[in-house]
Amino acid sequence: MAQKEEAAAAAEPASQNGEDAENLEDPEKLKELIELPPFEIVTGERLPAHYFKFQFRNVEYSSGRNKTFLCYVVEAQSKGGQVQASRGYLEDEHAAAHAEEAFFNSIMPTFDPALRYLVTWYVSSSPCAACADRIVKTLNKTKNLRLLILVGRLFMWEEPEVQAALRKLKEAGCRLRIMKPQDFEYIWQNFVEQEEGESKAFEPWEDIQENFLYYEEKLADILK
């Protein structure tokens, strides 16, 4: 069962899909925004299957997907070569702080400076410019950390600010790549709740390979 931890709310909510401006013109949607409960970060070991199927789907237009889901694997290696691994997921509620920020605030403080860490993120979409900046700063000052980020979709990839932020990630030593169908299957097997009556085998959606190739080409153009 997921646990919820309160995080500080930002002064104004900001949607990853640019939908808030439209919501402000609709009295009913505006009422929903005003009545949202306090911002939370949801944490756990496995996320519900219906969340995975909707939020991680690598569609070109991510309408309605205004959350970030981040599944992580942390491998800690001692000088003697012993490796300890842990994993879980983070989900940002509403849009105040993002899951990437939550990882640094809630998971990373437990890191031991004497160990080397290899961290892998499986994220529903790539970081926004602000989160990318936080990642770069963290990597620059944390020399015992190596980070691999695999993303289902590229967030606002046409924006020059976002493109520049992704290039800075690469320059800082962060490895960034688009999820292949096999990566989605890995998430399904290791991070998704297997509910009663649910098929345990991963069933790829129709355009999963086509969309992977689409985003892979876009990312290569941005990072070259």
Instruction: DSSP for 88-142, please give it.
Output: EEEEE-TTSS-HHHHIIIIIGGG--TTSEEEEEEEEEE---HHHHHHHHHHHHH-
* Whole-angstrom distance, CA of residue 188 vs CA of residue 182: 10
CB proximity list for 199: less than 8 A, separation 6 or greater: none
Q: 90 - beta bridge partners?
A: 43, 70
| Catalytic option among 6, 19, 45, 100 | 100
Contact 53, 64 (CB under 8 A): no
Q: How far is CA 88 from the centre of its chain?
A: 12
Is 60 tagged catalytic? no
Active site residues: 100
